[in-house]
C-alpha cells in the first residue's frame, strides 16, 4: 500500500478529505486537545504519527515523568507501538506505521491506538 492509498482509506473511514501536502505532511486536530502530525518517511515505506505532549516539567517532577514514560514504553508494556522522545524540552509521542503490509484499516487503527496513548500521557504531563 502506498501512503496515498493509506490516506484515501483513512479519509473514507473518517468521512474527512485528508491528503498529504507537497512536503508529505498532514496535520489533524482532535477536540481541540490533540494535534497529530502525519509525515511520510523519506523512503516512503512508512508514515510517522507524532504529537507534542507538552514541555518537560523542571527538576524532580520532570525526572519522575520521564522514568514513568520509559517504563511504560519498554517493550510496549503500556504504550503499544507508541514511543516517547525529547525535542529540546518538548516531550513527543511518535509511532511508525509500516506500509508494506498495510491494509485498509492499518492507518486508522494505528491512529486510534496513538490517540489512546496521547490521552493518558497528556494528562500525566499536566499533573
Domain CATH number, residue 9: 3.30.1460.10
Contact 45, 100 (CB under 8 A): yes
Q: Which residues contact residue 48 at a Cβ distance below 8 angstroms, ignoring those fewer than 6 apart?
A: 37, 38, 39, 40, 41, 94, 95, 96, 97
What are the counts of helices (DSSP H) followed by strands (DSSP E) for the chain?
3, 5
Beta strands in 41-112 (DSSP E): 46-55, 83-87, 90-98
Angle between helices 106-126 and 3-14 (to 10 degrees): 70
Q: Determine the pLDDT at residue 80.
A: 87
69 is in which domain, residue-wise? 3-126
Contact 101, 92 (CB under 8 A): no
Q: How many domains does the chain have?
A: 1
pLDDT in tens, 81-106: 999 999 998 999 999 999 999 999 99
Q: Determine the pLDDT at residue 53.
A: 92
pLDDT in tens, 1-55: 999 999 999 999 999 999 999 999 999 999 888 899 999 999 999 999 999 998 9
Give the residue with greater pLDDT, 93 vs 80. Answer: 93
Q: Which residues contact residue 4 at a Cβ distance below 8 angstroms, ignoring those fewer than 6 apart?
A: 20
Amino acid at each position: 500500500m502506498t501512503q496515498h492509498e493509506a490516506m484515501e482509506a483513512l479519509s473514507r473511514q473518517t468521512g474527512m478529505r485528508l491528503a498529504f501536502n507537497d512536503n508529505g505532511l498532514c496535520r489533524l486536530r482532535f477536540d481541540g486537545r490533540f494535534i497529530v502530525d502525519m509525515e511520510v518517511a523519506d523512503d516512503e515505506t512508512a508514515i510517522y504519527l507524532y504529537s507534542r505532549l507538552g514541555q518537560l516539567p523542571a527538576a524532580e517532577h520532570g525526572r519522575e515523568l520521564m522514568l514513568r514514560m520509559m517504563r511504560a514504553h519498554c517493550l510496549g508494556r503500556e504504550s503499544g507501538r507508541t514511543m516517547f522522545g525529547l525535542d529540546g524540552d518538548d516531550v513527543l509521542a511518535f509511532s511508525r506505521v509500516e506500509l508494506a503490509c498495510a491494509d485498509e484499516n492499518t492507518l486508522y487503527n494505528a491512529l486510534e491506538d496513538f490517540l489512546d496513548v496521547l490521552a493518558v500521557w497528556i494528562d500525566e504531563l499536566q499533573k
